[in-house]
Structure 1
Amino acid sequence: MRALQAPITPQHPRAGGRRRSAADETIWLFDLDNTLHDSSRAIFTAINHSMTAAVMQSLNLDLDAATQLRTRYWRQYGATVIGMVRHHGVDAETFLNLSHGFEIAPLVHSEHGLAAKLRRLPGRKILLTNAPRKYAREVLKTLGILHQFDGMWSINHMRLQGRIKPKPSPSLMKQVLARLGASAARVVLVEDTLKNLKTARQVGMRTVHVFHPGTPFSGKHRGRDSYVGLRVNSVGDLLLGRRPVRGS
């Protein structure tokens, strides 16, 4: 699986064997954590512990100071690594590897039959995640769906003018569209984080909110914002085609 550098081409056939053209192929941008798998069950705790340990090691801080700094940078920038690079000159790749240096596979949990359901979804599938590349690949491999994705944007690839720009950056979303070489109306972001969906909708993408009550990024209400084209409780609800995704 590669980081996308060029427009994608059609691959999935229509019913009856006729291929969709590049002009009408749906492109699905999938978030990873709490979208394709249940990261609140075990992985978020492991990430928090590992991230704090990485801050401690990188800056020679004690546990309390590292926890406060990690939390502050995450809230301020949306990713701790940005604050570490911007304010302390830490190498991003080194920190990302250090902060996710735990055994991933035993902690991955997903809905039953995810791989089979995903195969039924027509269109191209791209991963768009603020997680590191190595971690994301390992999660997809554990889920048995790595081969179903045609490309990946991880936080390792999210650089604009030399700075890390993860979701929900509007500039990132525009860059994604440019690299895909596709009209925004063909692209659907499937995501658990509302602010990321809002930005995607602002640049013209369609949106699906995977709603998990009580998780850190879900939003506390059950209503549907104008920028949410469809709300589902699991990826399977979308993949089984029970409801259409509202367009522009």
Structure 2
Amino acid sequence: MTFTTLFIDLDDTIYPPEKGVWDAIGEKINKYMETRVGIDASEVPVLRENLYRTYGTTLRGLMLTRGIDPADYLEFVHDIPLREFLHPTPELRALLERYPLRKIILTNADRNHALRVLNILELNGIFEQIIDIMDMLPYCKPLPEAFQKALEKAGNLRAEECIYLDDNVANLRTAKELGFYTIHVYPEKNCTDCHAHIPYLQYLPQVLDPLLKEVNRS
């Protein structure tokens, strides 16, 4: 099987988790649950964790249990000063441009947030497609239906021709079960059943170069 496509997660994968973006988004999620949904602040952390574990994302959980408007939620929680956290990464752009594979962002965030992140990192034009949470509704990662919708929207691809990169272990496990080649991108190696691990996206050649060379030989 020849690999044709790289699916890459956005937050905490395109940039390192220690940048603090997700912490800032998390604070906004808590504030949304308190101010927009009317949940007591003392109850938010436990409820948010339960929604995440039960439904895949807090957003999907709030949609199914509280009937919230996803567009309102996404606009609220992504309203953070991204330029305080992220900066251009020309070396990452050069690295990704080395590979002739299709490159697609697959994110549980929305398209506007993804575009803002890519613009600040100066990765505009690298990714031919952004498949966001609105494209996957009523599902989300790590649900297998979300990945199936992503494959369809990318042109009815087969999972076996795709490489998937993410920091989230649950997402990677689902992708692997469906047939994706999975690369865990996280400072700590804690995905024991992923195909490969790198601490940051800048280390991608260590895995991708030998993988593509092996495929070309077979």
Q: Report what 2:156 is aligned to.
A: 181
Specify the SS of the correspondent of 1:37. coil
Supply the distance in 1 between the matched residues of 2:105 and 2:32 (Cα, whole angstroms). 25
Following the alignment from structure 2 to structure 1, what is the Cα–Cα distance between the partners of residues 81 and 27?
A: 13
Contact 2:136/2:149 (8 A) holds in 1: no
The gaps in structure 2 that reach 5 residues or longer are none
Shift of 1:239: 3.6
Q: Is the 8 A contact 2:183 2:198 kept in 1?
A: yes
CA apart distance, 1:128: 0.4
Offset at residue 81 of structure 1 (A): 1.1
- What is the SS of the residue equivalent to 1:69? helix
Please tell me whether the aligned partners of residues 85 and 92 of structure 1 are also in contact (alpha carbons under 8 angstroms).
Answer: yes
Query: Which residue identity lines up with residue 92 of structure 2 in the other structure?
Result: L
Q: Give the distance between the partners of 1:110 and 1:38, measured in 2 at CA.
A: 13
Aligned to 1:244: 211
| Number of the residue aligned with 2:133 | 155
Tell me if 1:65 matches 2:39: no
Report what 1:212 is aligned to: 187
Number of residues of Structure 1 aligned to a counterpart in Structure 2: 212
Q: Distance in 2 between matches of 1:232 and 1:59?
A: 38
Name stretches of at least 5 consecutive residues in structure 1 with no aligned partner: 1-22
State percent identity of aligned pairs.
26
Q: Deviations over 1:69-98 (max 9, x none)?
A: 323212322211112111111111111111
Asked if structure 2 preserves the Cα contact closer than 8 Å seen for 1:41 and 1:109, the reply is no
TM norm structure 2: 0.86
Give a deviation string over 1:219-246, Cα, whole Å, max 9, x none: 3x6xx42xx2222222222246553268
Compute the TM-score of the two structures, normalised by the length of structure 1. Answer: 0.76
Q: Is 1:201 the counterpart of 2:176 in the alignment?
A: yes
In 2: Cα distance, 1:187 partner to 1:66 partner: 37
Shift of 1:188: 0.7
Deviations, residues 198-226 of structure 1 (Å, cap 9, x unaligned): 2112222211111322xxxx63x6xx42x
Is residue 137 of structure 1 aligned with residue 115 of structure 2?
A: yes
Q: CA deviation at 1:129?
A: 0.9
Label 1:110 to 1:201 Cα distance change in 2 as closer, same or farther (>3 A): farther
**2:83 aligned with 1:116:** no
| Aligned counterpart, 1:10 | none
Q: Secondary structure at the match of 2:25?
A: helix
- Which has the larger Rg? 1
Q: Distance in 2 between matches of 1:39 and 1:234?
A: 9
1:147 & 1:183 partners in 2: Cα distance?
24
- 1:168 corresponds to: 142
Stretch moving more, 43-52 or 55-64: 55-64
Deviations 1:91-111 (A, max 9, x none): 111111111211112212687
